Amino acid sequence: MSNNIIVGTKETDMNIQKIFDNNKDWVATKLALDPNYFNDLSEGQNPEILYIGCSDSRVTAEELMGINPGDAFVHRNIANMVNNSDLSSMTVIDYAVTHLKVSHIVVCGHYYCGGVKAAMQSADLGILNPWLRNIRDVYRLHKDELNKIEDEDSKYKRLVELNVQEQCVNVIKTAQVQKAHRERNITVHGWVFDIKSGKLIDLQIDFDHILKEIMEIYRLS
């Protein structure tokens, strides 16, 4: 019976076999358009974008941007965080910037983000506490602006945006991005995906301005 814990027995469970059927159809569709499609994919990747987004199941990476396999190097975690003690996001940034030489780094948050919502509430969430504390730090940094917003929904949305902005700053703080910026064109973008409308919003973060502002403190060489 312990297997039930692993595979699940709820009537609403996703039909896993359907996924393999879908995959078969997808392969056939791709090959019908281009017989060399998978062969070409296997030769290597040369993406121009590093996309850092939330793990939320409603916020896809490729689909919402209308791009294809091979176009974006993708990292997703709860609330699209970039934390310098997180080996996972740091190695992804290193690989994308130093080896794949991406030209664009996108941090994409989304309205109605459960991670951001949880950080706005006083609750002990176990292992999520240290992760969400980084969002509470964003709140503290911007508390004058946020506390002025009376409408809870608007405050929640603004924290999503400010979290994206601060994670972009964290990207810029990395040695790899600073080095790449000196040597070639590389831009950091802050975006928000609005689940309610499906729209992608560019927060128009002024990359060069932020870079100038923080370099006095975070310059690494």
User: Binding to Co ion (CB under 5 A): which residues in 68-87?
Assistant: none
Known active-site residue 54: yes
Cβ at position 113, least distance to Co ion in Å:
3
User: Does residue 161 interact with Co ion by CB under 5 A?
Assistant: no
Q: How is residue 44 annotated by DSSP? A: -
Binding-site size for Co ion (CB under 5 A) equals 4
E strand or H helix at 24: helix 16-33
- β 104-110/187-194 pair status: parallel
The two structure tokens encoding residue 108:
């994409």
Q: Give the SS3 label for residue 170.
A: helix
Residue 144 falls in the annotated catalytic set? no
Strand-by-strand arrangement of the 187-194 sheet? 72-77, 49-54, 104-110, 187-194, 199-202
58 is catalytic: yes
108 binds Co ion (CB under 5 A): no
Which of 54, 108, 168, 181 is an active site residue?
54
Concerning whether 142 is annotated as a catalytic residue, the answer is no
Q: How far is the CB of 172 from Co ion (least distance, A)?
A: 22
Q: Is 108 a catalytic residue?
A: no
Binding of Co ion by 192 (CB under 5 A):
no
Number of helices and strands (H, E) in the chain?
A: 11, 5
Residues taking part in catalysis:
54, 56, 58, 110, 113
